[in-house]
A = this chain, B = another copy of it.
Amino acid sequence: MKEDFEYPEMTEELARIAKALGHPVRLYIIQKLAVMNSCCYSGDLFEELPIARSTLSQHLKELKYAGLIQGETEAPKIKYCIQRENWEKARKYFKEFFEL
């Protein structure tokens, strides 16, 4: 019974998203990109945030891996924007989770 336990539908996916949002730097970035509906370059964020470029890059990578953002080359920069499709899905999941 406990061997073949499975989490209900959303649970694992929602946990993954929550985890990706579970760091101030990443939340800050998402806030900027999704909530304020803007795109930006790694360099822009570096100017604002008190962390090294490489650290920032790691966080961007994680958000990308989680599917929440996407990077579009605009050489020599990379323009990061929200990944609308997945973002909407995340919104929906959280909404369901919170008010159901």
- Residues on A facing B (Cβ under 8 Å): 2-3, 5, 7-8, 11-12, 14-16, 18-24, 26-28, 31, 35, 47-50, 91, 94-95, 97-100
Contact = CB atoms under 8 A, between A and B. Distances in A.
A3 B50 contact: yes
A24 B7 contact: yes
Contact of A49 (B2, B12, B49): B2
A35 B100 contact: yes
The 5 A-B residue pairs with the shortest CB-CB distance, nearest first, are A19-B22, A18-B21, A18-B22, A5-B50, A22-B22
Given A15-B27, A35-B100, 4 more contacts: A7-B24, A8-B31, A15-B21, A20-B22
A11 B18 CA distance: 14
